[in-house]
Structure 1
Amino acid sequence: MAVSNNITAALNFVALLCSVPIIGAGIWLASKPDNECVRLIRWPLIILGVLILLVSLAGFVGAFWRLQCLLALHLLCMLILILLLLFFTIFAFVVTSPNGAVSVPGRQYQEFRLSGFSGWLRNYVTNSGNWAQIRTCLSSSDVCPSLAREYSSPDQFFASSDISPLQSGCCKPPTMCGYNYVNPTLWVNPINPAADTDCYLWSNDQSQLCYNCNSCKAGLLGNMRKEWRKANVVLIVTLVVLIWVYMIACSAFRNAQTEALFRRYKQGYV
């Protein structure tokens, strides 16, 4: 029984360590300007990671001090948290599966179309109430000013593949409009202003730019998709480890219970 409890304690320590990349992924997403404005996924991920940490700590304490009731409660709570993490991982994968990116002739960066993204995610972001807050947040961020500081010539700008989807959609007009480049956030004299409604929405006012454009909403979704996909890799690996740890912990707990019953039976028989 002592061996089973020691194994359970060690496994809970591993589960406790697994909470670190989950919390880290949430903090990493929270540091990104798009997720800072949307705030859809970062807090649930951080909270879930903290809960796994606390439950793992409770399981470690229960195993170390041989508190079987606490261990049983820990296993139940951990099962619920693993199922929540599984749901969260599948949900994030499904809503980020469609990709609205389109290639632009003569440009290394991509542009984005709203129609190419998940309907649920698109509706959440483009909802008038949500987008008003998101737009205000984006316009006060350093997303576009940093782009203007980084690129000094059109050749450098057009040849760059490091421009984020958010910058591509919000900081410049769509290429199809035919605006002439002055700097990354200043464009004049459109050749084909009727090509898209966004062509009329572009403004050289640095507080406006293309924050009212559909291309900006699509760029935000493109950024979210890119970052969520990276975070999902961490979540999938962590989830696999947690499931493996949980199955072994259940087996160790069952063995400990069997040993305890056998010992009580043997004592009663003697």
Structure 2
Amino acid sequence: MALSNNVIGAINLVAVLLSIPIIGAGIWLTNEPADSCIKTLQWPVIIVGVLILLVALAGLIGGFWRIQCLLVFYLVAMLLLIILMLCLVVFVYMVTLRGHGDIQPNRSYLEYHLQGFSGWLQRRVRSSHKWDAIRTCLGSTTMCAELNQSFRMPQDFFNAHLTPMQSGCCKPPTQCGYTFVNPTYWISPINTAADMDCLQWSNEQTQLCYNCDSCKAGLLANLRKEWKRANVILIITLIALIAVYLIGCCAFRNANTEDLFTKYKQGYT
């Protein structure tokens, strides 16, 4: 029985270690450009990671110190957390399916449209109240100012691989036909009726295209990219966590079988 309990404890130690990449993924999201302005996924991920850590610690203590109630708690709670994490992974996968950028003629960067994203993501930025706070956050960054330091000539800018947020927020849509002066200053639009964002563009450096739907779409495109990367970590960790849980269940069952057999032998003797 002691050997089985040590095995269970060792298995739960692995579960403790598996909580680290989950918590790390949540912390990583808090520092990413889009997620730092629209705080949605990082806290659920961090909370799930912390809960897994606490439950795994309970199983670790129960395994090494033969506390049966803690082991039972671990088995039930960890199963619920695995199901919760599976739901989170599926949810992130579903809401990030859509949102690919559109290729523009003679441009290396892509442009994004709000309608191309899932309805759930669109609702995160459509509310004027929500967007005002997000817009203030975007305005406090240096993502647009950095473009002026990096690109002087039009062709260099057109050949640049901009981030979705830079493409959507720092310049007017290509179809408006604005003339390049510098990355954040454009003049003489050809077709202001091509898109409502053509009228939203402002050369005022605190305004730019922060009120444009293209900026909202660029933010969601960045968010989508960050969430998909985090989801890869969650999927790998979830698979490992399921494997550890199943091994733990087998070890727990074998320990109980061994315990019953020992008691039977003692009673028979």
TM bracket (short chain): over 0.9
User: Could you tell me which residue of structure 1 aligns to residue 256 of structure 2?
Assistant: 257
**CA-to-partner distance for each residue in 1:107-148, whole Å, 9 max, x for gaps?**
111000111110111112212221121111111222222232
User: Could you tell me which residue of structure 2 aligns to residue 59 of structure 1?
Assistant: 59
Alignment of 1:1-270 (within 5 A): 1-161=1-161, 163-270=162-269
Report how far residue 153 of structure 1 moved. 2.4
With 52-61 and 208-217 compared, the bigger mean Cα shift is at: 52-61
Q: Secondary structure at the match of 2:203?
A: coil
CA contact (8 A) 1:166 1:222 kept: yes
**CA-to-partner distance for each residue in 1:184-209, whole Å, 9 max, x for gaps?**
11111111111111000001111111
Q: Secondary structure at the match of 2:209?
A: coil
- Partner AA of 1:28 in structure 2: W
Query: Residues of 2 paired with 1:84 and 1:44: CA distance?
Result: 10
Query: Residues of 2 paired with 1:144 and 1:24: CA distance?
Result: 28
Q: Secondary structure at the match of 1:187?
A: strand
Q: Secondary structure at the match of 2:144?
A: helix
- Partner AA of 2:51 in structure 1: L
Report how far residue 236 of structure 1 moved. 0.7
Query: Residues of 2 paired with 1:55 and 1:147: CA distance?
Result: 47
CA contact (8 A) 1:100 1:218 kept: no
CA contact (8 A) 1:170 1:216 kept: yes
The percentage of counterpart residues that share the same residue type is: 57
Query: Residues of 1 paired with 2:26 and 2:263: CA distance?
Result: 47
Query: Residues of 1 paired with 2:81 and 2:120: CA distance?
Result: 24
> Where do 5+ consecutive residues of structure 1 fail to align?
none
Q: Secondary structure at the match of 1:143?
A: coil
Aligned length: 269
With 36-45 and 258-267 compared, the bigger mean Cα shift is at: 258-267
Report how far residue 100 of structure 1 moved. 3.9
CA RMSD of aligned residues (A): 1.2
- Partner AA of 1:231 in structure 2: A
With 210-219 and 177-186 compared, the bigger mean Cα shift is at: 177-186
CA contact (8 A) 1:100 1:114 kept: no
Q: Write out the 4+ residue segments of structure 1 that deviate beyond 3 Å after TM superposition.
A: none
Query: Residues of 1 paired with 2:194 and 2:186: CA distance?
Result: 16
Report how far residue 177 of structure 1 moved. 0.5
| TM-score, length-scaled by structure 2 | 0.96
Query: Residues of 2 paired with 1:3 and 1:125: CA distance?
Result: 55
**CA-to-partner distance for each residue in 1:27-74, whole Å, 9 max, x for gaps?**
111101211111000111112112111211221111111111111101
CA contact (8 A) 1:33 1:143 kept: no
